[in-house]
Amino acid sequence: MRLKSSHLYYVLSFAVFFVLSLINTQLIPFMKTCGYSIEQQGILLAADAMIAICGQFIFGYLCDRYSTVKRFFIAGYIIYISASGAMLFFQKNMFFYHLIMIAVSGGMIKVLMGLNETWLLAVDRQHYGVLRAAGAIGMSTGSLLAGYLLTLFDFKQFLLIFLAVAGIVMTIILKSRDVKSQQTTSAKEDILHLLKNKQYLLIVSIFFMIYMAGTADQYTVISKLLSIGGTQQDVGWKWGIQSLAELPVLFMASWLVEKFTQRALLLFGVFMYALKFFLYGFFQTPILLIVCAGLQLVTMPIILLTSKYLICNTVDPETANSAQMFAMAIFVGGSALITPLVTAYLIQCFDYDLTLYIISVFCMVPFFMSYFGLKKT
């Protein structure tokens, strides 16, 4: 599909990330408002990873089985809206109730992000970076708006605004044209084939560890921000700046992958991630943590791009969809399962700062794996 005929997908990318950010960026403040401890927050956040992992496989299989992305994206979107609405309706400590609702809402956020990536890549792989940039603008706008609105309303009032926005976004999804899967083999055959691809397994392992750090950026850093006097609006600013910082790299995606090797880009992005977490541990005021979030410019968008291109260039075209969904399930779902539990334990044993320093050092593990394991071309 040519760029001129894909304008609606820019709107779709913006709208999807906008509505997902309304919930995703305010999960930690919501749990804090309900009175959950750090340990309870870790369990609640880890629970959504189980839905994310299973959902990636199930929805990926169904999209391939029935040769459609749109129909199952809509199904997942309805589940997300329902669970998020039920979650926000009770703004008090109801652990087992929220365990289910946060698990489904947070899990479906990750599933929908994965399906959205698959949709965009199928629409126009050449201009994927620009399409994804529209999503970054949506994420930034949504997170800033959510932070501002929650200074005016409580979460139950915020729920009404969320449902209204979600309804508008649904109309955009319905107007978007579906893409057909070109898959000719079964998901089971694809996974068995992928498990024999050593370079693919190495790539998945590397990005699994990188996304563990990325998950800590979403949750642990937000918890520290709130613990040192930050507000829900500060949380919105942190997410907003991060998302805006992604735009230059996403707009230059095609130029970057032509100018530099994917290995070189990945090494640079991971090293900057290590520096970013060191600074997160070092800074002690909300404003400095928010400014530090601007280092997103040279971290996650580069890592995101390299993950997509490395996987596409490592597997056969007929297994590309399964390869992307399987990878997302492992390094997005798996990291979301492990990181909240590990960081909650570390915070209890030490403190926020030392935990963030440990994550900074940990980032060097995928750095050296990439340096010695990935091909230079």
pLDDT at residue 183, as a whole number: 55
The CATH number for 251's domain is: 1.20.1250.20
Residue type for position 223: S
Residues 349-354, mean pLDDT to the nearest whole number:
94
pLDDT at residue 149, as a whole number: 95
Residue 155 clears pLDDT 60, i.e. is over it: yes
Is the torsion defined by CA of 99, 102, 107, 110 positive or negative?
negative
pLDDT at residue 67, as a whole number: 81
CB 214, CB 111: distance < 8 Å: no
Residue 304 clears pLDDT 90, i.e. is over it: no
Query: For residue 314, what pLDDT band results from cuts at 50, 70 and 90?
Result: confident
Q: What is the mean pLDDT of the chain?
A: 88
Residues 203-215, mean pLDDT to the nearest whole number:
92
How far apart CA 147 and CA 233 sit, in angstroms, is: 4
Quote the percentage of the chain above a pLDDT of 90: 56
Is the torsion defined by CA of 53, 55, 59, 62 positive or negative?
positive
Domain that holds residue 364: 3-178+186-373
Residues 355-368, mean pLDDT to the nearest whole number:
96
Query: For residue 57, what pLDDT band results from cuts at 50, 70 and 90?
Result: confident
Residue 1 clears pLDDT 50, i.e. is over it: no
CB 283, CB 295: distance < 8 Å: no
Inter-CA distances, 113 with 18, 77, 109, 110, 164, Å: 11, 10, 6, 5, 21
pLDDT at residue 5, as a whole number: 46
**220: nearest Cα among 47, 356, 78:** 356
pLDDT at residue 185, as a whole number: 57
Residue 187 clears pLDDT 70, i.e. is over it: no
CB 320, CB 312: distance < 8 Å: yes
**297: nearest Cα among 273, 328, 262, 279:** 273
The tokens describing 267, both together, are: 């090494």
pLDDT at residue 251, as a whole number: 84
For the chain, the domain total comes to 1
Residues 163-191, mean pLDDT to the nearest whole number:
80
**296: nearest Cα among 276, 268, 267, 266:** 276
Could you read off the pLDDT of 229-274 as tens digits, one per residue?
A: 999 999 999 999 998 998 888 888 878 888 899 899 999 999 999 9
pTM of the model: 0.83
Query: For residue 181, what pLDDT band results from cuts at 50, 70 and 90?
Result: low
Residue 87 clears pLDDT 90, i.e. is over it: yes
How far apart CA 276 and CA 36 sit, in angstroms, is: 28
